[in-house]
Structure 1
Amino acid sequence: MSVRDAGAPVAGAVTIEVAGRDDLPAIVAILAADRLFGARDTTDPAAMPDYERAFDAIAADPRLTLYVARAGGEVVGTFQLVLFHALLRHGALIAIAEAVHVHPDARGLGIGRAMMDFAIAEARRRGAASLQLTSNKKRLDAHRFYERAGFERRHEGFKIDLDDRV
């Protein structure tokens, strides 16, 4: 990862695009670099088939899109956009930004903002009534970032882990 070497924000040079299977190792490396909760993801080659199966399932589902953010030709961020209809709000289409991650070496350079601006625009373009996301309570910097990006704290989330691998 050499994006930080530039030393200046790169938001103007960030491109957001649908992830390809060849982006998978870089995406997994970004996820594995997150150590806030220990080693939940790994770049161990033995785990790659799990990530490949998940990527294939995401790519096959028209309600799901996995994106990458590139700067200087490198994958520096990733997020998934999930769209579904709810009965609430007269059957509104709801968008969720999931698994939003920027490589630790590229944080503070405008990558996350470019990804969220894209997610908001894409959700709007696809007719979503709202875009929501969740963020772990320990991610205080992320919370401040999301608020600066226009998100409001409206709900209290709950979760139960059903798989001991996560």
Structure 2
Amino acid sequence: MSGAAPEAPEAGAVRIDEATRADLPAIVGILARETMFGVRDSADPADLPDYERAFDAIAADPRATLYVARLDGRVVGTFQLVFFRALLRHGTLLAHAEAVQVDPEMRGRGVGRAMMDFAIAEARRRGAGSLQLASNKQRLDAHRFYERAGFEKRLDGFKIDLSGH
């Protein structure tokens, strides 16, 4: 260690950090603002224990990490990376990005690009053979963004809702 203090990020620079419990209200606030498919998340403080339990489970799982994007110290985006081993491709390690969300007021400022650049670099650093994500077919702006970030649209996904909601 050199003993030098870490450099402060430049004003206006997006910084990606591992999320902390203190970030939860901001993260949930971003998730709750995504209402394209109805209200699925809630920023109501009464619901925070649900998110705290989920955060604790994610934090305890060595295969999963929840991240936040900060702009001038404020949480403006979030995503989760999950790594898992598959038998295909000779047992390759795969990475999956989940719950990729940017505060709607901050879109177009490079936040999403910084998050995806970080996710790609982290997947490479950990030795993943690929990084994949799923995006609802109706989110055409998101699809264009992911393609500009280097992702190829090559999969058809299928989903069944088991929550009973």
TM-score (norm 1): 0.92
2:93 counterpart residue number: 93
Native 8 Å contact 2:12 2:72 kept in 1: no
Letter in 2 for 1:149: A
1:30 counterpart residue number: 30
Moved over 3 A (4+): none
Secondary structure of the corresponding residue to residue 41 of structure 2:
coil
State how far apart, in whole Å, the 2-side matches of 1:25 and 1:164 are.
Answer: 25
State how far apart, in whole Å, the 2-side matches of 1:54 and 1:96 are.
Answer: 18
1:57 counterpart residue number: 57
Secondary structure of the corresponding residue to residue 138 of structure 1:
coil
1:74 counterpart residue number: 74
Native 8 Å contact 1:19 1:67 kept in 2: yes
How many residue pairs end up in the alignment?
156
Letter in 1 for 2:141: D
> Which consecutive unaligned segments of at least 5 residues does structure 1 have?
1-9
Letter in 1 for 2:101: H
- From the two aligned structures, give the one with the greater helix fraction: 1
Alignment partner of 1:84 is 2:84: yes
Native 8 Å contact 1:79 1:97 kept in 2: yes
> Which consecutive unaligned segments of at least 5 residues does structure 2 have?
1-9
Question: How has the CA–CA distance of structure 1 residues 97 and 65 changed in structure 2, closer, same or farther, with 3 Å as cutoff?
Answer: same
Indicate the RMSD between aligned Cα atoms, in angstroms.
1.3
2:3 counterpart residue number: none
Question: How has the CA–CA distance of structure 1 residues 37 and 50 changed in structure 2, closer, same or farther, with 3 Å as cutoff?
Answer: same
1:42 counterpart residue number: 42
**Max Rg structure:** 2
Secondary structure of the corresponding residue to residue 83 of structure 2:
strand
Question: How has the CA–CA distance of structure 1 residues 71 and 106 changed in structure 2, closer, same or farther, with 3 Å as cutoff?
Answer: same
Q: Shift of residue 164 of structure 1? A: 2.6
1:19 counterpart residue number: 19
Alignment of 1:66-145 (within 5 A): 66-145=66-145
TM-score (norm 2): 0.92
State how far apart, in whole Å, the 2-side matches of 1:136 and 1:156 are.
Answer: 11
RCO higher in 1 or 2 (8 Å CA, sep ≥ 6)?
A: 1
State how far apart, in whole Å, the 2-side matches of 1:27 and 1:102 are.
Answer: 10
Q: Taking every aligned residue pair, what percent have the same amino acid on both sides?
A: 74
Question: How has the CA–CA distance of structure 1 residues 13 and 160 changed in structure 2, closer, same or farther, with 3 Å as cutoff?
Answer: same
Q: Deviations over 1:93-132 (max 9, x none)?
A: 0000000000000001000000000000000000000000
Native 8 Å contact 2:26 2:75 kept in 1: yes
